[in-house]
């Protein structure tokens, strides 16, 4: 897999942990919902 897509996934996981319990593994639906509600500028931050 390209390195860029891996970075995007790790950013999404960081957003999930920031808005929810860190001990709970985020599901795909949670990642998608948070990514939709977050501004695009936050998702593009490295």
Give one DSSP letter per residue of 1-46, joined into a string: --HHHHHHHHHHHHHHHHHS-TTSPPPHHHHHHHHHHS-HHHHH--
**Angle, alpha carbons 12-22-29 (nearest 5°):** 45
The reported pTM is 0.21
Contact 41, 10 (CB under 8 A): no
For the segment 1-46, what is each residue's pLDDT rounded down to a tens digit? 456 656 666 666 665 555 555 556 666 666 666 666 556 565 555 4
- Domain range annotation of the chain: 3-44
Q: What is the pLDDT of residue 15?
A: 59
Half-sphere exposure of 16 (CA within 13 A, CB side): 19
């Amino acid at each position: 897999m390209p390195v860029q897509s891996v970075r995007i996934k790790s950013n999404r996981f960081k957003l999930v942990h920031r808005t929810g319990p860190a001990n709970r593994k985020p599901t795909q639906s949670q990642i998608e919902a948070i990514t939709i509600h977050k501004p695009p500028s936050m998702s593009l931050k490295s």
